[in-house]
Structure 1
């Protein structure tokens, strides 16, 4: 390590002049925008978390767009399709209730184009909706057909187990789950097979009639998943919108042959919009992701896959699936915010951790996370995060074009939507989670997805990867002593915006995106890891405490870099010939530590480059041992071995 004490006077003077290693004031730290971002709720719109209990059928006071939360949520469909009546009345009747008149069964026969059918209002959207199913069912593979059959006939939660990857067997055993459908039987094209298993498994309370005991393993988890589906039926919306299944609309829709026996013979009560299987996949998926945030995105990718399988099966259209996703999501947000579920969501998570620790031989959330991602892609089809994102992206809006007049809609976040992320991002405040959701919303203007509260634009899979933009300043305060994501997390999104990021507390936060935010970075505590060249955005970087760690790809800093005496810079590997830390502006060092992890033969490697360098590090280590570096006017390099 270089020390002025070992240099001659002339050499020391030269170094002082070259590096400015005299006492100097620290440059001003970035100031950012001076305010934090916000995520407003929609104005003058009934919040689903306050009205979700109205999603009922057979109640005269909950039978219209204005009085049924589930129907209202999906009312964007009324721009595409006008049902024959605007009531929850397909095969449904209800007695008068106070000022609410009685509901009489609709005469809708469920046959597209019949005298009792509704009216297409947006022919282009409807045509794309059906053409998509025709194309998909004509080109599906044999393996896709098998998957679609299994997702149709067996309990939906059994299918959702796939999202747990290496943890699936442990969960299945703890929930005491079983299914009677494990394959496509040879005679399935003529015989309808029903699942006589128990879908989600056994709850914490025994059932004398069913002759089942209380489940002391994952019974509370099963209770929680059941609770997240309360008031979540898709039947009210199906019986309001009265929109036929795709195979009734178009004879070119090729239903999986083994599912022919599963087709309903009662068209007048068999509406396609929204998809019930999809809604259940999202209800169960979000509930399981809450309990096992270590597999958050993988589980929700399975929810997307199950919705998509309904199209592959020929049983539903893209708009059916989008509607199911929206209603399933809104149902979970509603139930997670109920005071009656506050204790259950906490005790269920504790039980899940205890059970999975014992089953996997782990003791901490960090170890469990590792175990949850231990399988290669050949054994865990959700093991690759980038592949998951690529799979999900086109299935969010299914190729529909955004309506230009709606594309500029204000970004709003549903009341209570942030609760879904509280186990996945426990180190953020509730308002910060709302802002994360806002910054990762899907684009506005797509059919059906433009509901007033914003449920149609939610993208929890992307939100789990952190902010998509800093529209205000963001301070992340982590506490490593709490373990799990409090101790270590990664933000993979590309982050835009004019805001500033401050990393405080302990714990480590890794940034991997192609980030363009301009407000700068301040490191006050813990560790901020730059795992891409553009991880730190385009502003100044100020390391006041803790450590700025740089991955093997190195990092480019668009402004100035300042390191104070109580802080550190860590360089962990170096790929390529560029400097590990390339500073476009000035580098100012007021002491601090430079900790390098590189091959021992890396002398002469450029560690840091800058327009100008002032000061030196107090201590420099290579692989844990003191080492000398060479400072010049614009670079710091590893000194050659003596």
Structure 2
């Protein structure tokens, strides 16, 4: 159920004969692609430049379908390089025929290989309110949300064949008083969160203006060469028959729009709605940020499985939703609402689960894959990654990413310890590369990869200083960056909180622990530069081989190194350069659960080119063992003796 206003074709159809509405042509779109990312003063006598989307998103209405007058149509301008809009719904023509052929053939392959269960699933998410469908991304918090928001649906199963009439979601009989469709009731315990979802899906959030602007048909009206072929016949339901190999799910045959002029494919309205609802909930419940993004991608893919939309439609819907969510959240008029929604969600879930700001994340991830389909981050990434580009091929020159104005607000609650400039850098360094024509539209909204951005920086292009403080709770107290971080810069960790690095990192600069705790959770977590522990604690815990320091290792007096020993023969910390240990530096050894020791064993701990100094204390965090350090000119072993 699209739940967006139906437009009047006579008023809004782009037509080459019309004089009141400009026709989008390839040159117009190409000129827009060269437009700057943010508003700027026009030169004397020159044309005014387009306002940034976040400053003009309220122009996304049926009143203007031109890229000059409608911000949504403008930022989707990459489509005008692929498809030339005709004077009627069936007179458009390909500009990149290979992409359009691949687009429809993908739909043919998916819909002809679809299982009966997938067809039923596609029906459910076609007919169910999109905001309700997204709630499942909350995992262990989903049922609590539905109860607190009084969110309900009547669409939970699908028939095996075609229903006799249209099916719409409704409050089911017997639902608790005050229940509501979609995200729930605005007067519920989670009313502010509900209002935030509804606001992001507000009056300027429709994909319909773009549908009318681009007039790209739905896949079941296209043949494999992306041409409309109307056979002139009608099917058993009185609908026109098109010569298409795309097979619509049988449950949805009567749910189709019978008016092709009012039923464009680009962009997918359901996809737009799924991502808007997911981003609203992710802002209010950032403990499930990445899982909600994965849920939106999975739901959006059912539009292709259903035969109702193509990959280009889905990519366009996601791109539009990303921009709309950022614009709405960045709008000063919504500042109080978004803060209230975040605060209400945090208080509600902590109260219902008995958790705190520091333990709610763990509760939200306590279930395994059998109960929570999004419990496995690697599986989520495997599901999301190919859907970022689908059938698009990469070509052309490499264009540096410019993060759209205001996009940083999307990470405001997920990375609260970073400032706006740092969040923009996270978005920039995790963005998709250039060269995907539909993603390279004005402002580059399509290149943002929010799933990856939730895992922190993708590169340190310059030295990065990050401060996490335990007293602030939540992600500000402890967070993990899971991306593989590249770049010439280094990292300085400040504050009393804990930051964990788990990627295969290649950044070249120095890693400095100034305060708090930095955890090296993978073999190459510390990059390729020197490591300096000048305050706080460096915690090393890599299950697969020694954590490597490619440069020198310096540990100042009074600081702490914690090493977890696993069942491998090499040292826990392998240093390619010099090891310098300050007076009163501490070493604490921990034993992994799989590490079985005898009564008296010598374990290699640190290996370097040379070693200078020594630890003031060496202890083992295991009952019944005493640690004795054994130094050489290049490293340290420890004798563990059972007391």
Q: TM-score range by the shorter chain?
A: 0.7 to 0.9
Secondary structure of 1:641's partner? strand
Deviations 1:594-624 (A, max 9, x none): 0111256473110100010000011111016
CA distance in 1, matches of 2:615, 2:391: 54
Question: Is the 1:552–1:575 contact (alpha carbons within 8 Å) kept by the matching residues of 2?
Answer: no
Question: Is the 2:626–2:641 contact (alpha carbons within 8 Å) kept by the matching residues of 1?
Answer: no
| Number of equivalenced pairs | 559
Q: Which residue of 1 aligns with 2:480?
A: 490
Q: CA deviation at 1:161?
A: 1.3
CA distance in 2, matches of 1:336, 1:573: 46
Q: 1:127 aligns with which of 101, 122, 131?
A: 101
Q: Which residue of 1 aligns with 2:639?
A: 639
Within 5 Å, which residues of 2 pair with 1:286-305? 286-305=279-298
Deviations 1:343-364 (A, max 9, x none): 11111111111111222222x1
List gaps (5 residues or longer) in structure 1. Answer: 1-39, 86-107, 205-213
Q: CA deviation at 1:174?
A: 1.0
Q: 1:245 aligns with which of 196, 215, 218?
A: 218
Question: Is the 1:594–1:619 contact (alpha carbons within 8 Å) kept by the matching residues of 2?
Answer: yes
CA distance in 2, matches of 1:485, 1:174: 24
CA distance in 1, matches of 2:402, 2:160: 50
Question: Is the 2:512–2:531 contact (alpha carbons within 8 Å) kept by the matching residues of 1?
Answer: yes
Q: CA deviation at 1:324?
A: 0.2
Secondary structure of 2:333's partner? helix
Q: Which residue of 2 aligns with 1:503?
A: 493
Q: CA deviation at 1:187?
A: 5.3
Q: Which residue of 2 aligns with 1:55?
A: 60
Q: Which residue of 2 aligns with 1:620?
A: 618
Q: 2:376 aligns with which of 379, 384, 387?
A: 384
Question: Is the 2:481–2:501 contact (alpha carbons within 8 Å) kept by the matching residues of 1?
Answer: yes
List gaps (5 residues or longer) in structure 2. Answer: 1-35, 40-48, 172-179, 224-243
Q: 2:71 aligns with which of 60, 69, 72?
A: 69
Give the TM-score normalised by the residue count of structure 2.
Answer: 0.85
Q: 2:114 aligns with which of 109, 118, 140?
A: 140
1:556 equivalent in alignment to 2:548: yes
Deviations 1:213-254 (A, max 9, x none): x32x00111011111122110010001101110000131101
Deviations 1:59-96 (A, max 9, x none): 2xx331111001001111011111124xxxxxxxxxxx
Q: 2:181 aligns with which of 186, 199, 212?
A: 199
Secondary structure of 1:604's partner? strand
Pair 622,77 (structure 1): closer, same or farther in 2 beyond 3 Å: same
CA distance in 1, matches of 2:161, 2:392: 38
Question: Is the 1:619–1:626 contact (alpha carbons within 8 Å) kept by the matching residues of 2?
Answer: no
Deviations 1:347-398 (A, max 9, x none): 1111111111222222x12221111111110111110001100111111000
Question: Is the 2:611–2:632 contact (alpha carbons within 8 Å) kept by the matching residues of 1?
Answer: yes
Within 5 Å, which residues of 2 pair with 1:170-319? 170-186=144-160, 188-197=162-171, 198-204=180-186, 214-215=187-188, 217-230=189-202, 231-250=204-223, 251-319=244-312
Q: CA deviation at 1:626?
A: 6.1
1:456 equivalent in alignment to 2:437: no
Q: Which residue of 1 aligns with 2:426?
A: 436
Within 5 Å, which residues of 2 pair with 1:349-388? 349-362=342-355, 364-388=356-380
Secondary structure of 2:503's partner? coil
Within 5 Å, which residues of 2 pair with 1:91-110? 108=88, 110=89
Within 5 Å, which residues of 2 pair with 1:491-570? 491-553=481-543, 554-570=546-562
Secondary structure of 2:442's partner? coil
CA distance in 2, matches of 1:245, 1:499: 47
Q: CA deviation at 1:192?
A: 2.6
Question: Is the 2:556–2:581 contact (alpha carbons within 8 Å) kept by the matching residues of 1?
Answer: yes
Secondary structure of 2:110's partner? helix
Question: Is the 1:607–1:637 contact (alpha carbons within 8 Å) kept by the matching residues of 2?
Answer: yes
Q: CA deviation at 1:41?
A: 4.9
Q: CA deviation at 1:548?
A: 0.7
Question: Is the 1:256–1:313 contact (alpha carbons within 8 Å) kept by the matching residues of 2?
Answer: yes
Pair 135,202 (structure 1): closer, same or farther in 2 beyond 3 Å: closer
Q: CA deviation at 1:162?
A: 1.4
Question: Is the 2:152–2:184 contact (alpha carbons within 8 Å) kept by the matching residues of 1?
Answer: no
Question: Is the 1:180–1:196 contact (alpha carbons within 8 Å) kept by the matching residues of 2?
Answer: yes
Q: 1:585 aligns with which of 577, 587, 607?
A: 577
Q: 2:332 aligns with which of 339, 342, 345?
A: 339
Q: CA deviation at 1:202?
A: 4.1
CA distance in 2, matches of 1:287, 1:71: 22
Q: 1:608 aligns with which of 598, 606, 609?
A: 606
Question: Is the 1:54–1:68 contact (alpha carbons within 8 Å) kept by the matching residues of 2?
Answer: yes
Q: Which residue of 2 aligns with 1:474?
A: 464
Deviations 1:90-135 (A, max 9, x none): xxxxxxxxxxxxxxxxxx2x3x4xxxx1111111111011011001
Q: Which has the higher contact order (CA 8 A, sep 6+)?
A: 1
Question: Is the 1:620–1:626 contact (alpha carbons within 8 Å) kept by the matching residues of 2?
Answer: no
Q: CA deviation at 1:318?
A: 0.5
CA distance in 2, matches of 1:566, 1:427: 26
Question: Is the 2:572–2:604 contact (alpha carbons within 8 Å) kept by the matching residues of 1?
Answer: yes
Question: Is the 1:42–1:413 contact (alpha carbons within 8 Å) kept by the matching residues of 2?
Answer: no
Q: Which residue of 2 aligns with 1:321?
A: 314
